[in-house]
Structure 1
Amino acid sequence: MQIAPRKVINAWCMYDWANSAYNLVITSTIFPAYYEAITKNRLPDNEVEFLGRKFVNTALYNYALGAAFIVVAFMSPILTSISDYRGNKRNFMRFFCTMGSIFCCLLYFFAPQPLAGGGTTLSQRSLDVGIFCMVFACIGFWASLVFYNSFLPDLVPHRLRDRISARGYTWGYIGSVILQVLCFIIVFFPDLFGFHSTYAKDFMPPRVSFVLVGLWWFGFAQISFRYLPISTVKERHERKNVFTNGFLELKKVWSQLKHMPVLKLFLVSFFWYSAGIQTVFLAATQFGAKELHLPTDKLIITIMIIQLVAIPGAIIISRASERFGNIQTLMACVLVWIGACIGAYYTYTDIQFYFLGAIVGLVMGGIQSLSRSTYSNLMPDTKDTASFFSFYDVTEKIALVMGMFTFAYIEERTIRFGGMRNSVLALMVFFMLGFVWLGLTMRKANRLTQQA
């Protein structure tokens, strides 16, 4: 196939630059720490009330994210079908980017109210606003990635997908770190920005950071939307019912997988280890705040370490895959994740947490990038790339739901004797299953190569 122009490929990578700020500030650092700080100690065992039920505060956070991923998993086939029919993945990507960035900005209104005698209180209304805005921002982020990922096989041939996929993740890490540094300055030097009262110093900087993330995401994404292509009229598919066709397309992809054993085995392995990776990333800040009692500055330092180390990590893993093969490299990465889960269970100090963050950072971006490009390379040659990537994204989201719900459920059930430490250790099982299935994938691929 013909390689897309350089400016188009760079525009595709630029969306990673734009949206990764959400993944770092909202998903991983400032928002989780802010959420933990303003919701703790409201009821026994740090419980909060939501929709008439009491939850451990961090468990509610994970359940809410899990619910968002259920919505994305259900919507993905429908959205893909509509985008195929309209022939315009770019516009749907733009819609969800806009939705997500708006709800990021609306997180500004998730705040406690000052009391006349000192202190603060978080109203039920403010908690509800925060949870719902978090959920809709999450839906916007992940739904836009359904369309973003499906552009990759349209832009470059097989031989370049590992490298371009890694470039996208690298740009994302660089962009997110730049904004994170700006937010870091606002949070830890509030006087420079006119926040002088105790209330303003404690609560205004994080809220300003949420607005900055929304503006950054929306603003830089316009570069991507300007250059990413729209399908020609001839390439658009005729659909009788676009709302059911997406699920029929998933069924069609599943039927094709029966005749593609290597891809099928890879998807099973991806399901298991993806459940662990995404859950660790989403819950890392909560673990540091609740189990290690680390202040916000040390939590942000840890996530910054992960992001900075992830930049060379993605490149190193990309190069390793060229030398040793994709599956072998993925297996090595999963072994590192298994070790990280064991290490987290026995982590008690900030230095240990920093070291663990560096290890996770080395394999975080690389394994995600390599998984995406490996799937792309194992796909059959087809113009209907959105349907195959919809299947990939649905697999990832269902895995994420299982991971988040498992993490939250185990924490709630063992809150008095282990809590999150038990949850982290349970994630190790997901990685072990992923490793086993990657081994089966490599074995099947080798057999088919020998037969050929």
Structure 2
Amino acid sequence: MDRPLNDPRTLNGWALFDWANSAFALVITTAIFPPYFEGVIDESFTVLGIPFTNSSWFAYLITFSYLIIALLSPVLSGIADAGGRRKFFLQFFTTMGGLGCLSLFFFTGMETMWIGSLGFIIGLIGFAGGLVFYNSFLPVIATEDRFDRLSARGFAMGYIGSVLLLLLNLAMVQQPGWFGLPAEGTLSVRIAFVTVGIWWLVFAYISLSRLPDDVRIPGTGIADMASRGWEELMGVWRRLTDYADAKQFLIAFFCYSAGVQTIIFLASIFAKKELGFETAELIVVVLILQIVAIAGAYLAAKISEARGNKFALYVELVIWTIICVLAYFVDGKLQFYFIAGAVGLVMGGIQSLSRSTYAKVIPPDVDASGRRVDTTSWFSFYDVLEKVAIVLGTFIFGFLDALTGSMRTSILILALFFVAGMFFLSRFQLKPRATQT
């Protein structure tokens, strides 16, 4: 059934998907699963004769997941751009991620470490793979004048939904008796993983029921659509030689993104292992971080308006560098709360500034009416680069952790990524563009 653009039921259904899947990003990747993993896995062990610490193994899980995601991203992007199977693949990756979450209930310790590892990898790939197709629905269901407003609605619903579920999980962990659960053991935490999977699947399938059905394109095979994504990325790579500013910014972005994303993924396991934070305390830290991140994004925008994007990015990178140094020396929970607040302050700011700066340096291709065109392939390149940065950052973190047995050393080394980012940023000039008509 054909649905008109800007249909309210469809738009609300699309935004509901953010409500559904953001719970995984907040509860599983950040707040509850990392410290639980550290708590139930031996501090050190060997696999195939290779020594690991529990935190280095967790870092490698992220590395492996994002390596797969980075390899799949251009393929998925090509399929999404060519259309025809958008809803099918969104449902596939959603189901995959939700089942990965549900499987974490059976992860109880070393004897089931393979279940926890595989479930986390499947969940992460399902989450990231689905986002490609979710985002590609935007121009299919709305006119361009609605893009910003609808995207913001999805972000807001994702934030609200994930925080509500996290608060429920906090109550389950702190007061398991309210839910008829035993005070001892891990059952309440493992049921929290199940709530994420159910939340994700139920609300996502409601969202899917409101999105337009696939319209198969005759003569367009999946292989043809997939190759389109690689061709788009290679086209951007070739064009970078003609756009020195964009190339220089991307190098800087790659360096500091490796540090930013690694810290976001591994901050909670650091707090658990090095400072003895309990799961309930970490949930409170994450909630504070989420709130501060919103204020940080607005603050970064204000600095950018007053002094420009480059200066604002420098400020953010200096703070990130200080965070790494302070984390190396932190020895108390109160100190970590302040560090977490600083991470929240620059977490939202660095991500919003990076995307807006990049939008200003990509080629100003316009059509006859003066509208920007061909931005999708440039932002696909940007997204893949960020995923590769996560692979590099988490691998180095895990390698140093396993080598030295200290997460503090790994955190300190991450400061070099921010220093490198500042160096390459210093060679980048954000030139004002001529007014386009």
Tell me the percent identity: 40
In 2, Cα distance between equivalents of 1:130 and 1:80: 29
Is it true that 1:412 corresponds to 2:402 in the alignment? Answer: yes
Matched position secondary structure for 1:55: strand
Structure 1 gaps of 5+ residues are 41-45, 113-121
**How many residues end up aligned between the 2 structures?**
424
Distance 2:35 2:133 in 1: 30
Q: C-alpha separation between the residues in 1 aligned to 2:77 and 2:167?
A: 36
For residue 373 of structure 1, report the CA deviation from its aligned partner: 4.3
Instruction: Give the whole-Å Cα distance in 1 for the aligned partners of 2:311 and 2:136.
Output: 25
Letter matched to residue 241 of structure 1: D
Query: What CA deviation, in whole Å up to 9, does each residue of 1:164-206 have, x standing for no partner?
Result: 766654443332211111001001111111223x6xx321111
Task: Give yes or no for the alignment of 1:263 onto 2:246.
Answer: yes
Query: What's 1:432 paired with?
Result: 419
Residue aligned with 1:258, SS: helix
Rounded to whole Å, the distance in 2 between the matches of 1:365 and 1:151 is 25
Deviates more, 1:259-268 or 1:135-144: 259-268
Aligned amino acid, residue 124 of structure 2 = C
Q: Secondary structure at the match of 1:348?
A: coil
Find the aligned partners of 1:14 and 1:319 in 2 and give their Cα distance: 30
**2:58 matches 1:61:** yes
CA distance in 2, matches of 1:343, 1:158: 44
**Structure 1: distance between partners of 2:213 and 2:354:** 26
Aligned residue for 2:69?
Answer: 72
Correspondence for 1:117: none
What TM-score, normalized by structure 1, do the two folds share? 0.82
Flag the 1:330–1:153 CA change in 2: closer, same or farther, 3 A. Answer: farther
Q: Which residue of 1 aligns with 2:103?
A: 106
Distance 1:384 1:445, change over 3 A: closer
TM-score (norm 2): 0.85
Task: Give me the whole-angstrom Cα distance separating, in 1, the residues matched to 2:426 and 2:200.
Answer: 38
Give CA deviations for 1:5-27 in whole Å, capped at 9, x if unaligned.
77766655544332221122111
Does the aligned pair in 2 maintain the 1:174–1:311 contact within 8 Å?
no
Structure 2 CA distance for aligned equivalents of residues 238 and 75 of structure 1: 17
Question: What pairs up with 1:89-100 in 2 under 5 angstroms?
Answer: 89-100=86-97
Q: 2:185 is matched by which residue type in structure 1?
A: D
The corresponding residue for 2:122 is: 136
Q: Deviations over 1:237-289 (max 9, x none)?
A: 89873444432221112122233333322222221111111100111111111
- 1:116 aligns with none
Matched, 1:174 2:160: yes
CA distance in 2: counterparts of 1:194 and 1:129, whole angstroms: 26
Structure 2 counterpart of 1:195, from 168, 181, 197 = 181
The residue that corresponds to 2:283 in the other structure is 300
Choose the corresponding residue for 1:33, options 32, 35, 53: 35
- Aligned AA (1:433): A
**CA distance change for structure 1 residues 10 and 364 in 2, over 3 Å: closer, same or farther?**
farther
**Unaligned stretches of 5+ residues in structure 2:** 367-371
Q: How does 1:382-421 map to 2 (within 5 A)?
A: 386-415=376-405, 419-421=406-408
Compared with structure 1, are the counterparts of its residues 160 and 139 closer, same or farther at alpha carbon in structure 2 (3 Å cutoff)? closer
Code of the aligned partner of 2:44: E
Match of 1:119 in 2: none
CA contact (8 A) 1:321 1:329 kept: yes
More deviation, 325-334/25-34:
325-334
Checking the alignment, whether the CA contact within 8 Å between 2:252 and 2:421 is kept in structure 1 is: yes
Mapped pair 1:335 → 2:318: yes
Structure 2 residue 209 is matched with structure 1 residue 207: no
Structure 1 match to 2:232: 249
8 Å contact from structure 1 (residues 77, 246) kept in 2: yes
Contact 1:153 1:385 survives alignment (8 Å): no
RMSD (CA atoms): 3.3
Kindly state the Cα deviation for residue 63 of structure 1 after the two structures are TM-superposed.
0.6
Query: Any idea what the Cα deviations from partners look like across 1:22-51, whole Å, max 9, x if unmatched?
Result: 1221111211111111113xxxxx213445
Q: Given that residues 103 and 134 in structure 1 are in contact (C-alpha distance below 8 angstroms), is that contact kept between their aligned partners in structure 2?
A: yes
Aligned amino acid, residue 362 of structure 1: L
